[in-house]
Amino acid sequence: MGLFDWLFGEFVDVIEWTDDSNDTLVYRFERHDHAIKYGAMLTVRESQVAVLVNEGRLADLYEPGLYRLETNNMPILSTLENWPHGFKSPFKVDVYFLNMRRFTDLKWGTKHPLMLRDPEFGPVRLRAFGTYGLRIKEPITFLKEIVGTDGHFQTGEITGQLRNLIASRFASIMGEANIPILDLAANYDDLGQFVTAKLQPEFAEYGLELTKLLVENISLPDEVEKALDQRTSMGMVGNLRQYTQFQAARSLTTGGSGASDGLAMGAGIAMGQQLGKQITQSAPTQPPPLPSTQSFYIAREGKRLGPLDLATVEAKIRSGDIRPDTLVWTPSLEEWTPAKQVSELAPLFSSQPPPLP
């Protein structure tokens, strides 16, 4: 440092910091030999706080405003140094400015795919990414726990740790939520709010506040997405044969001259052949099956006898093997029923003579 720089450092008595970057969290005001003149003016702008650090010990904190650094404005530092009221000599102290504004558009994402079990697709791998915002909530805690003696602390020095923290907690929450893959897009906002609330206590340990976390996308591996697209396409096409016929008919109506006419004619011939095959396939080549007869079951001496066709049952009624009170069951009945109450058998009993005395 030259002589003029030294003289400038000795006589300048205005302490302030204007942030010309977008990522500075903490800035230490540079002075020659860290000497501050008694009565120097300290300017703390909006979204800033200033902290005096004396011999490694945190002293006074200043919120936005204009301050004259005297013993009555530095109560903690005056007590630490046992300064008398009206102390006039220059003193050595570090002045740290902390940027209290909100830092937005910080990125987070999963380094490796998350292994989850989906109720519809089974085991799947997911990747997720998004953005989040933060700001300093407790300046003293942040200086003690994170900054230390760093004179120019930027967001890039802590976002790596915060990104890993977010990804780890997000993986745990996704595993517990058990949300189907096809419903994830409808739950991005809820997931972001839930993760934000879950991470607040851990950010507070650093003296920070997680203002908002956004889930921008949760994606499947490329090969799984292609398979899902094919499945979706099949669902949209529906009946493949009808779709082919539609395409062929459309080519006939849109055909032009030359090569287009040839393509249209070829499509028409192919469609005619296809329709001919369908007609041939649809023509019956075998006689229809014989009509099925109704079957009956009868209860005799605690045992089930059957199935019996209607002709056999009628013969047994004529021979007296089946009486009006004999229990009968057929698929049209819900339970065993006396034969005389079955609609198909009741007429057979009226045409029979009564039993011999």
Q: What is the CATH number of the domain that holds 125?
A: 3.30.479.30
Give per-residue pLDDT as tens, 256-265.
Answer: 554 445 545 5
Residue 193 lies in a domain: yes
Looking at the structure, do residues 88 and 120 belong to the same domain, yes or no? no
Distance of CA 259 to the CA centre of its chain: 51
Task: Name the band, by pLDDT with cuts 50, 70 and 90, for residue 277.
Answer: low
Question: Same domain for 9 and 42?
Answer: yes
Read off the pTM: 0.59
For residues 88 and 124, membership in a common domain is answered with no
Using DSSP, state whether 84 is helix, strand or coil: coil
pLDDT at 67 over 50: yes
Q: What is the pLDDT of residue 208?
A: 95
Distances (CA, A) of 10 to 6, 78, 224: 6, 21, 68
**Whole-number pLDDT of residue 304:** 84
Q: Are residues 152 and 209 in the same domain?
A: yes
Same domain for 123 and 195, yes or no, is yes
Rank 28-32, 165-169, 324-328 by mean pLDDT and report only the highest.
Answer: 165-169
In-domain check, residue 254: no
Same domain as 41, residue 78: yes
User: Which residue, among 5, 7, 47, has the nearest Cα to 27 in the 3D structure?
Assistant: 47
160 in the same domain as 81 = no
163 domain-assigned = yes
Q: Is residue 170 part of a domain?
A: yes
Q: Confirm whether 10 is domain-assigned.
A: yes
Query: Where a domain ends, among 209, 224, 239?
Result: 224
Residue 98 in contact with residue 41, Cβ under 8 Å?
no
Q: Is residue 277 part of a domain?
A: no
The full DSSP string for 195-241 is HHHHHHHHHHTTTEEEEEEEEEEEE--HHHHHHHHHHHHHHHH-SHH
φ/ψ (deg, to 5) at 303: -120, 155
- Same domain, yes or no: 132 and 210: yes
Where in the sequence is the domain holding 17, given as residue range(s)? Answer: 3-99
Domain boundary residue, one of 183, 208, 224? 224
**Confidence at residue 303, expressed as pLDDT on a 0 to 100 scale:** 80
Owner of token pair 């800035």: 27
In this structure, are 68 and 20 located in the same domain? yes
In a domain, 229, yes or no: no
CA-CA distance, 51 to 36, in Å (whole number)?
A: 14
Q: Which residues of 88-108 are buried (b: 16+ CB within 10 A; e: fewer)?
A: eeebebbbbbbbbeebeebeb
122 shares a domain with 25? no
The total number of structural domains in the chain stands at: 3
pLDDT at 7: 45
> Which residue stretches of 221-345 are H helix?
222-237, 240-254, 259-282, 310-319
The better pLDDT of the pair 46, 304 is held by 46
The residue written with tokens 């739950």 in the block is 187
Give strand pairing partners of 304.
299
Mean pLDDT across 246-262: 58
| 238 domain-assigned | no
Q: Is there a single domain that holds both residue 87 and residue 111?
A: no
C-alpha distance from residue 94 to each of 97, 145, 216 (Å) = 10, 18, 42
Q: Which ranges of the chain does DSSP label H, i.e. alpha helix?
A: 3-11, 75-81, 139-142, 159-177, 188-204, 222-237, 240-254, 259-282, 310-319, 346-350
Residues 31 and 43 in one domain: yes
